[in-house]
Structure 1
Amino acid sequence: MYKIPESVLVVIYTEDLQVLLMERADKHDYWQSVTGSKDFPEEALAMTAMREVAEETGIIVADTGGIVPASNLNDWHVSNVYEIYPVWRHRYAPGVTKNTEHVFGLLVPRMTPITLAPREHLQCKWLPYREAADACFSPSNAEAILQLPHRVKL
Structure 2
Amino acid sequence: MTNDMKLNKLLLTLSVGALSFIQACRSPESDEKLKSTIQAALETTPGIEVNVEEGNVTLDGQIGSDSLKQNIEDKTKMAGGENIKSIHNNIVVNLPEPEDAREKYHEIIGGAVDSTLTRDVNLVLADFPTITAQVKEGIIVATGNLEKSKIDTLKKRLEHIKPKGIDMKGVISR
Q: Same fold (TM over 0.5)?
A: no
Query: Structure 1 or 2: larger helix share?
Result: 2
Q: What TM-score comes out, normalization by structure 2 length? A: 0.23
Which structure dedicates a bigger proportion of its chain to strand?
1
Task: Give me the TM-score of the superposition, normalised by structure 1.
Answer: 0.26
